[in-house]
């Protein structure tokens, strides 16, 4: 599997299968996997955790296959979650998909900076919990270092992301191997179906699903860069391969830990809980290994999400649904204007964490839920493509694709439900201001902003956003 980029016909370098796969894995595996043992055990026993992973595997596999099917059947549609939403539901829904994805991505990057320097605080106390003045200054230096790296070219940054992705897999693989040797079946079987305090099996499974909602964000990484791929077929392959590798790691880390420490012990751990699990397995240096692994992993995820966050406004700007300036690139092919806006906002929120970490964490929960709507739109679009037979040969069966797209769509609805309908309502606070950017873009191109029911949808989003904002200020709703 090659990780290099290639220049064809003197154009911009193209991303090969290895680089695309690394974008998928690199964006999904960040800091969350290092906290999984505690996060999963907090509300469930081993049996419920296994059931939860089985449901997640089925749902996310169908979503991965839906992205693969769209890459193969609709190769002319570029831009992943944005492009598919626009192709299926029009400019305004495409804009909202790009807007929601972008906000979720850059606010998520703020959390990566905080988590990374919190982990460094294990050795350097000046970093504290990742939001001390020293931590924010160092995070800012790293932020602008990544910024200028990406400005030098997306393909070069993608190659470095491949290297960091490989590097982050090493400590995780080491964790799995060492925990296997420390695994005790009696510990694993103890209260296999959980103790009464955890509730019914259904309640326990639901608690695990609330965790797994977030760990797969990034599965769309390859499809977001479909326009930069050497071969469109590689986009689908990278999505499926990246998903299978990631879920294998996630399941191994969370399940094997239950053979080293009991469910109540895991639930009581601080995060990153993998550090304490490995410490129990091999001694004090286990914690050092996993904290170092967390720093490497989050560093790699930062680069992957810097690329993804800047790509969304660029693609939308190029198509005329975001202001024209965001659709421009510099001489190296990097979306410079989009990158400056994105990292400028990250810098602002890094400063905000210095004064109000609680407010930032509330906003993070709200923003993360915004990415689930683009996932649902992509799933429904894949069902529409299969139902219409677009991209199929005469007589070619559509049954498999219809089944996969149908399950993916149901799972997309489930993700929104599991994340909380309240957060879907509150996310309108962030979706509503996007209308100004959309109207700006349409005015630049001399186009009518809405077609059909889009004006009604825009009005609903604005009204819901206004109501949610009012209820937040009056205390009727809390984050």
Q: In whole angstroms, how large is the CA radius of gyration of the chain?
A: 22
Residues 6+ apart with CB under 8 A from 110: 346, 349, 350, 353, 360, 364
pLDDT at 251: 94
Question: How far apart (Å, rounded) are the C-alpha atoms in residues 210 and 203?
Answer: 11
pLDDT at 3: 38
Token code pair at residue 97? 């998909």
Question: How far apart (Å, rounded) are the C-alpha atoms in residues 15 and 2?
Answer: 10
From 78, 53, 383, 364, select the one nearest 220 (Cα to Cα): 78
Residues in the chain, pLDDT under 50? 1-10
From 7, 57, 4, select the one nearest 332 (Cα to Cα): 7
**189: how many CB neighbours lie within 10 A of its CB?**
12
- Could you give the C-alpha distances from 232 to 6, 44, 72, 190, 238, in angstroms and in order? 14, 41, 7, 48, 10
pLDDT at 342: 95
6 forms beta bridges with 14
User: Cα–Cα–Cα angle for 356, 132, 108, nearest 5°?
Assistant: 60
Give 280-285 contacts, CB < 8 A, sequence gap 24+. Answer: 280/182, 281/178, 281/179, 281/181, 281/182, 282/178, 282/182
Domains of the chain: 13-418 (1.20.1740.10)
Alpha helices in 74-121 (DSSP H): 80-89, 91-120
Q: What is the pLDDT of residues 404-461, one digit of tens each?
A: 999 999 988 888 887 777 888 888 988 999 999 999 999 999 999 999 899 999 999 9
- Could you give the C-alpha distances from 390 to 223, 387, 397, 415, in angstroms and in order? 19, 8, 12, 27
Q: What is the pLDDT of residues 9-49, one digit of tens each?
A: 345 567 888 888 988 888 888 778 888 999 899 989 999 99
As separate numbers, helices (DSSP H) first and strands (DSSP E) second, the chain gives: 22, 2
Question: How far apart (Å, rounded) are the C-alpha atoms in residues 400 and 284?
Answer: 50
């Amino acid at each position: 599997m090659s990780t290099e980029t290639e220049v064809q016909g003197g154009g911009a370098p193209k991303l090969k299968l290895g680089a695309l796969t690394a974008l998928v894995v690199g964006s999904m595996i960040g800091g969350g996997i290092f906290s999984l043992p505690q996060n999963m055990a907090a509300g469930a026993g081993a049996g419920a955790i296994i059931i939860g992973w089985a449901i997640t595997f089925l749902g996310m596999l169908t979503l991965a296959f839906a992205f693969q099917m769209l890459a193969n059947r609709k190769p002319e549609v570029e831009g992943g979650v944005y492009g598919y939403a626009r192709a299926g539901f029009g400019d305004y829904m495409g804009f909202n998909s790009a807007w929601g994805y972008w906000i979720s991505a850059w606010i998520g990057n703020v959390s990566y900076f905080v988590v990374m320097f919190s982990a460094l605080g294990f050795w350097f106390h000046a970093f504290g919990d990742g939001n001390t003045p020293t931590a924010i200054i160092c995070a800012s230096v790293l932020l602008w270092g990544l910024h200028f790296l990406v400005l030098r070219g997306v393909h070069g940054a993608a190659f470095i992301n491949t290297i960091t992705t490989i590097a982050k897999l090493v400590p995780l693989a080491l964790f799995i191997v060492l925990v296997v040797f420390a695994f005790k079946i009696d510990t694993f079987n103890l209260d296999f179906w959980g103790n009464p305090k955890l509730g019914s099996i259904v309640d326990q499974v639901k608690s695990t699903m609330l965790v797994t909602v977030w760990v797969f964000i990034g599965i769309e990484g390859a499809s977001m860069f479909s326009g930069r791929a050497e071969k469109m077929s590689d986009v689908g392959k990278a999505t499926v391969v990246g998903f299978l590798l990631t879920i294998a790691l996630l399941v191994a880390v969370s399940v094997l830990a239950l053979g080293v420490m009991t469910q109540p012990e895991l639930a009581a751990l601080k995060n990153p809980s993998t550090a304490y699990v490995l410490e129990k397995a091999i001694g004090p240096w286990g914690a050092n290994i996993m904290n170092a692994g967390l720093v490497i992993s989050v560093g790699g995820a930062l680069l992957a999400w810097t690329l993804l966050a800047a790509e969304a406004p660029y693609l939308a700007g190029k198509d005329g649904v975001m202001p024209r300036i965001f659709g421009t690139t510099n001489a190296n092919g990097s979306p410079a204007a989009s990158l400056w806006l994105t990292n400028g906002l990250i810098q602002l929120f890094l400063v905000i964490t210095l004064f109000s970490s609680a407010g930032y964490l509330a906003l993070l929960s709200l923003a993360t839920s915004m990415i689930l709507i683009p996932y649902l739109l992509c799933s429904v679009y894949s069902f529409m493509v299969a139902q219409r037979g677009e991209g199929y040969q005469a007589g070619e069966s559509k049954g498999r694709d219809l089944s996969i797209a149908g399950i993916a769509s149901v799972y997309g609805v489930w993700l929104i439900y599991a994340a909380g309908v309240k957060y879907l309502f509150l996310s309108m606070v962030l979706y509503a201001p996007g209308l100004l950017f959309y109207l700006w873009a349409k005015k630049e191109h001399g186009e009518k902003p809405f077609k059909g029911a889009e004006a009604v949808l825009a009005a609903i989003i604005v009204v819901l956003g206004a109501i949610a904002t009012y209820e937040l200020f009056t205390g009727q709703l809390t984050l």
